[in-house]
Amino acid sequence: MFHHAEMSANLSSCLANGPLSPVSAPSEALQRLIDRKLLTPLFQPIIALDGGRIVGYEALIRGPEDSDLHSPAQLFDAARCSQQLAALEYACREVACEAFVAQALPGKLFLNMSPLSFTDRHYREGVTREILTRVGLDPERVVFELTERQPLDEFVSLRAATDHFRHQGFAVALDDLGAGYAGLRVWSELNPDYVKIDRHFISDIDADPVKREFVRAMLDIANRLGNRVIAEGIEREEELRTLAALGVEYVQGYLLLRPCSHPPKQMVGLEGLVGFRPRLHDTFTFRQRVGDIVQYAEAVEPTVSTLSVVERFRADQQLTCLPVVEEGRPLGMVSRSELLNIFSHRYSYELHAGKPIATFICKRTIRVDVDCELKLAGQMVTEDPLQNLSVDLLVEREGRYAGVVRVGRLLRCITEEKMRLARHSNPLTQLPGNVPLYEWIDQLLLDARPFTVAYCDINQFKPFNDAFGYGLGDDVILMLGTLLVKHAHEALDFVGHVGGDDFVVVFRSDDWRIRCQRILAQFIEDAADLMPPEQRDYWSHDRTGQRQRFGPLTLSIGCVTPDPVHCRTHHQVAQLLAEAKHSAKAQGGNSLFESRRRQPT
């Protein structure tokens, strides 16, 4: 959350209360604090659910510990009431940027910005750019978070300001979506790069179907607009699990890490949290979702007597659990083994027979949406050591009861899918082959998500293979596969091996050009390391059978960014990619070619 989000007063209340108090006034203490940069930056990581990679840090600010201005609420109230907000924000940015660079933190830096600072008398353009130049931080690594805790009426000027930031290379985020004023209008007017869902919708989302529907709608809108979604304020594992099932991409909160002055550069121990997933191309599948294997089971109302459910379990030995549903809303599951165990004790009938069955709903009921991937649903089952494996998963569609999924069937389907993926993996590199690649591209097109495809091909590989044999040739292929996986974004990008020395990388990471340049540079070094210096120039036969001299191996990368509106299938993307590959190889040497064509002819 923003440090601005912690403010409790607004400017009008400051002015309406008469003379300003010593804390809220533009006192010498506040001025000295700003002038001397007596501010402490704290950082809280923003983490990708896929892979657990840190994608950035939100900077939060504290004043001196022995001061009345230590808390963000007092600090920013005082600055806002005295028209010092812009000056304070500049000081905050400076100390945050300096600490971020000094610690060499990875990813993006999310900096707070109040729209009210645009009207502050100390506001002036170019200050942030000067700070970044001085500390050596690229503007493309900076995201301005805009709080909407105050009324936002000047949409024209606000949009002009954010457009100016984007023109300079900054990204824009909208904070606390749904918590403040005119949230949907601000979203539509600014179309930010990131939207952060307010803590109100995250708190206890696992137990609140209304909140799940709101978040699902936000995700749908963001997906269609091309915005990245960050769920902030996560404090419980059940909240994280639910957000993962809904398809949230980035998360932030106390459950993961509290703000601190020296945060880690990578997260460890996340494997124990249900919801985090390994690399996409390691377990990739879009083929099956929970809705494909859901079964309808007759539910019971929460008010029915517990005794009637006990009798039903005893009459049907195959019945392992029952869903509890109230007016179409799924509440949870009742376990046969747990309930019969309770009624096996003395006096249990006298104590519990007349109670409503809602009293005995399993506390660890797993709830998933019909669109949840089977792999994630399986992780929810197997990664929770306290989970009762005899209890079915409760499935919902848009917050309404849709049925159940038997745990045994779920695990069988996952095993079958793993075997299918193994059949379509390259035996040398173990990377996904053509079929998973096609499915991945088709799903991205269906979701209208932006992506860039890179075809990587080793130049003159056949003459090299003929001259030195398949053993060294396989070493080169393995080297390239390892290199591509190393430089691909572990949470966003997909690396496929389509045969021979041909690889395809599907980039969803924004900095794909930089990644390609790094791949090209390291390929030259790694290929040279595989060869003795005296053999880096060699004689072999070209494709026409002519004997000639060849130099060190080089790599060609042809890239294309398909337009999802005009490219509907992977076949059309393959057509564009083939042209980009040929153009890259025509350039010769170690080269990158970026096609301007985005749709097939």
Mean pLDDT of 459-466: 87
Task: Go through the domains of the chain in sequence order and give each one's CATH number.
Answer: 4-277 (3.20.20.450), 290-415 (3.10.580.10), 424-594 (3.30.70.270)
- For 418-457, write each residue's pLDDT tens digit: 787 778 888 888 888 998 899 899 988 988 889 999 999 9
Which carries the bigger pLDDT value, residue 280 or residue 147? 147
pLDDT of residue 552: 86
pLDDT of residue 251: 95
**Residues in the chain, total:** 601
pLDDT of residue 491: 64
Q: How far is CA 281 from CA 61, 179, 398, 493, 495, in A?
A: 38, 36, 29, 8, 7
Confidence band for 154, pLDDT divided at 50, 70 and 90: low
- CB-based contacts of 543-548 (< 8 A; 24+ apart in sequence): 543/462
- For 266-320, write each residue's pLDDT tens digit: 886 665 565 554 443 443 444 578 988 999 889 999 999 999 999 999 999 888 8
Q: Which residue has the tokens 């000081």?
A: 91
Closest CA to 51 of 235, 246, 282: 282
- 167 phi/psi in degrees, rounded to 5: -60, -30
Confidence band for 226, pLDDT divided at 50, 70 and 90: confident
pLDDT of residue 575: 94
Confidence band for 66, pLDDT divided at 50, 70 and 90: confident
Mean pLDDT of 130-150: 85
pLDDT of residue 304: 93
In the three-class reduction of DSSP (H, G, I as helix; E, B as strand; rest coil), residue 240 is classed as helix
pLDDT of residue 119: 58
What average pLDDT is seen over the chain? 82
pLDDT of residue 15: 36
- For 571-597, write each residue's pLDDT tens digit: 999 999 999 999 999 998 899 999 999
Least confident of 29-43, 264-278, 445-459, 548-562: 264-278
Six-digit token string for 123: 């506001």
pLDDT of residue 186: 81
